[in-house]
Every structure is written in C-alpha cells, then in structure tokens.
Amino acid sequence: MAPTGGRGPAARRNGIGTRIIVNGAERQVEAPPEESLLSVLRNRLQLTGTKYGCGEGQCGACTVLLDGRAARSCRVALSAAAGKRITTVEGLEQNGRLHPVQAAFLDAEAFQCGYCTPGMIVAAVALLQRQANPSDEEIATQLAGNVCRCGTYPRILAAVKQAAAALRQGPAR
C-alpha cells in the first residue's frame, strides 16, 4: 500500500488543503474538490447568507463574487474556487458599516421574504463595480438571472439606483 502523504488520489478525493480566500481571510478547506462552493460556504464555513435556491444556477440566490465577478456558487466546484477571492454578502460590510447596496436595500425595503436578497445584493455590487451609473435596462438585464418570488422588482430597481448614486458620491463622512 503506497502512502498518500496528502498527494495521491485519496488526497484529491478528500480535497485536503484546498486554499480559498473568503471575505479577505485565507481558509484551508478539507472537502472533496467536486463539492459545491455553496455547500462549503454554508456547511463548512457557516457563512449562511448565501442561499440554496434551485441548485441549478438559475435563480441567483447563491450568488457570490468570485475574483470580483458574480458567480453562482451552487455551480462552482471547490476545486474551481481554489486560490480565488470569494466575497459573500457577509463580506460586503466594512468596519461595521453596511455596503451602500446593502443600506439601499434596507432603505428601499427591497425585499419581502428576503430569501433572494443576498444574491440580489451581490449581483448588484458586481454590476456597480463595472458600471457606475447603470440605466434601468442595464440593471434589469444584470439582475435578470436573480429571481424574486415575491415580486419586489420595482423596489430592487430603486435600491440599485440609490446605491449607484451613493457610490458615485463617495464615502459618507
């Protein structure tokens, strides 16, 4: 029997030592490489803001930022996230202050049940990082893959526009 020493097929199957950077902190995760990033975040790292919706990448409830781009964490294998920067909804606040998108969602009451909200917020952050002043159409297009079963889309649109304005003004003093 050959020793695995953390490098053989058994080690790859177990995912020993997969390094990911979550919300700015480097983490070593022991999980199978094919395990979904969503499962790792929720079940192994206890970051439950990212939601399980459809498991097919169609509803957007599991959206995270992966190296700054919106990604459906239910469809990303841990091995594909290795060494990458992952930002969840929990990682958006800085120094106890909500991200402007989070604050705008609260101000505009852009949620009802709240299940879609983390994914919507993260998708909106990704949009506003690329486009400082998106049109209503650009917002709708960017968020089209995020489903709100309660139908609060008009308030979501208002929140994204409010956040865009806040971000263009710069940090509050």
- Tell me the torsion sign for CA atoms 68, 72, 75, 78: positive
Q: Give the CA distances from residue 166 to residues 41, 48, 106, 141, 162, in Å, rounded to whole numbers and listed in that order.
A: 30, 27, 14, 21, 6
Q: What is the pLDDT of residue 3?
A: 35
pLDDT-derived band at 17, boundaries 50, 70, 90:
confident
Domain membership flag for residue 2? no
Q: From 102, 106, 118, select the one nearest 62 (Cα to Cα).
A: 118
Q: Which domain holds residue 146?
A: 100-169
Which of 11, 7, 49, 47 has the alpha carbon at shortest distance from 30? 11
* pLDDT band at 18; cut points 50, 70, 90: very high
Q: Please check whether residues 66 and 127 belong to one and the same domain.
A: no
Mean pLDDT of 56-64: 97
| pTM confidence score | 0.88
Q: What is the pLDDT of residue 16?
A: 63
Cα separation, 66 vs 8, in Å, equals 28
Domains identified in the chain, total number: 2
- Report percent pLDDT > 90 for the chain: 88
**In residues, how long is the chain?**
173
Question: Taking 50 as the threshold, does the pLDDT of residue 123 lie above it?
Answer: yes
CA–CA gap between residue 66 and residue 64 (Å, rounded): 6
Regarding whether 134 and 83 lie in a shared domain, the answer is no
Say what the pLDDT of residue 6 is.
40
The token pair that represents 121 in the structure block: 């917020």
* Same-domain status, 116 and 163: yes
| 23 has pLDDT over 80 | yes
27 and 58, same domain (yes or no)? yes
Q: Residues 85, 20: one domain?
A: yes
- In whole angstroms, what is the distance from residue 54 CA to residue 61 CA? 8
Do the Cβ atoms of 123 and 65 come closer than 8 Å?
Answer: no
